[in-house]
Amino acid sequence: MQNLIIPALIWLRRKSPNIISASLLALLLPALPLNAASDEKTLPTAVIIGDSVCISGYAKYVKEMLKDKVDVKVGAATTSKWTLDGIDSGLKHMLGNGKAAVIHFNCGIWDSSLKSYDPDKGVFFEDIKGKRATDPAQYEKNLRELVRILKGRTDKLIWATTTPFTDCVGRHQGDDYLYNKIAEVVMKENGVMIDDLYSYMLPHQAEYQTPGNVHFHDEGSQFLAKKVSDCLLKALSGELKPEAFPINPDKPYTIEDRAKLTVLPPRGQKAVINPDPDRRGMYASHELQGKSLLVHSTTGWCWKLTSYDHYVLRVQVSWPGSEFPAEDRIGLVKKPGEPSDLIVEETDTELKVRTWASDGIPLRFLKQNMSIQWIWQKGMLKETDGLTRDKNVATLTYSYNPNEQFFSLPNGVELTGQTFKREYAANDPASYPAFYSNLNYGMLMNEVKPVWMELGGKRLKLGYPQGELIDLFVIIGKDKEEIAKRYATLLAGSGK
């Protein structure tokens, strides 16, 4: 009877979303006795948790494949939030106060779903132009909490990557990859084993997936079940280790292909560009060039953001008639390292950008006046007058916390309240235009010509010389020693 109820609930949810809400479905399914108690009491218990790709897809085949080997119990998931809300009661029902030999879990398809609101009907509906059900940053937080809870219920925890999907109602192709990358960071940091269903299914997606849908037909579900069953048996035998199934970020996509997947395309048509080298203008569009994010303004200015090692972010700015120079012919840093991915979330008013590490660099790129706000854990740094040019002299101006203090890199001499010119000398590290703040960030002006630094009067002002482009490295760390170490590594890669 239970095997009839579960698919019926899922079918009802698909056909009549107003009758049964997703949150109710998430709470109902874990509460149902999804499988009868095993007659063989000595069988190890495996719990598999997932959405309808699992519940009405591969779960029943996993149970068949592992019959007489593993007592498989199945729990439901929708978004990470609803899964988190119902996880304790679901585990209580399946395990009582005990532990499972292994838990295999996933949630992500619902988190990445795009929804819009109909004010006339008062309902949300799936819409390719809508907003994601779960913000990427919140998705990461929810996964961390799920991992914490699930680790209390098993010694063998496996994360199943979200299966691939194409553009369809309420789904944007590429979000499957993006949310998997977020999950990968969480799982690797917490020593969770990974069952990479995404890469396993991707070459066979056209063959097994229902057109215009995230689900798979029967043969596809059996195909996934074989992978899940093998993974559970390997985990139980000790053959599967946390590092055994890493997601390979460079396959099956090239770097150019991946660039197209990481960021949602700009909403609507691109703004008209009216070149003006002396005015920042407003937001026009953004794109990826390799792994760098390019943000274009309506006056032809371009901001280029590149992440290195998750804790170093390079910000370069060009204006009409200028180009970003080759990496090996500018400033102090000629070989900053290998670029890494950025997480970019677009809203109507801003671009939210962060490096991939959970404690990486977050910032907001405001569209109206093309200014950047740095969101530190201990405070915020805001552009006030922002970025200006006067007779080809470029200046960055920020307002900062009244209690903020500044110190020289690398020697730690206090600079708070000072205004001075830094003139670079090749053999004198004290002449390098770099500083760190007690808010646990540092900045290096990547320029060998004289630059200006004003660290007082409630503003932070950085001036670049005539004819030079803005080129700034931002470094973060848990303390000044960590910032200084990353600063030294940045320069060491350039032979300084």
Asked if 61 contacts 53 with a C-beta cutoff of 8 angstroms, the reply is no
Residue-level pLDDT at 77: 93
- Residue 472, classed as helix, strand or coil, is strand
DSSP H/E element including 473: strand 470-476
443 CB burial (10 A radius; 0-12, 13-18, 19+) = buried
- Residue 211, classed as helix, strand or coil, is coil
Quote the distance between the C-alpha of residue 177 and its chain's center. 10
Residue carrying structure tokens 């509460």:
31
Band (446; pLDDT cuts 50, 70, 90): very high
Asked if 425 contacts 439 with a C-beta cutoff of 8 angstroms, the reply is no
**Strand order of the sheet with strand 393-399?**
342-346, 350-355, 362-366, 371-376, 379-390, 393-399, 459-464, 451-456, 419-422
More confident residue, 120 or 196: 196
Band (442; pLDDT cuts 50, 70, 90): very high
Domains and CATH numbers, the chain: 2-252 (3.40.50.1110), 256-492 (2.60.40.1760)
In this predicted model, what pLDDT tens digit does every residue of 255-306 receive, in sequence order?
344 334 444 444 455 678 889 888 888 898 888 887 889 999 999 999 999 9
- Rounded CA Rg of the chain: 26
Asked if 132 contacts 113 with a C-beta cutoff of 8 angstroms, the reply is yes
Own/partner contacts of 12-21, CB < 8 Å, gap of 24 or more, are 17/123, 18/123
Residue-level pLDDT at 226: 97
The residue type found at 207 is E
Give 23-89 as a 3 state SS string: HHHHHHHHHCCCCCCCCCCCCCEEEEEECHHHHHHHHHHHHHHCCCCCEEEEEECCCHHHHHHHHHH
Predicted TM-score (pTM) of the model is 0.54
Assess whether pLDDT exceeds 60 at residue 28. no
Mean pLDDT of 362-376: 87
In this predicted model, what pLDDT tens digit does every residue of 385-436 receive, in sequence order?
678 887 768 888 888 777 889 999 988 999 998 888 888 887 788 889 999 9
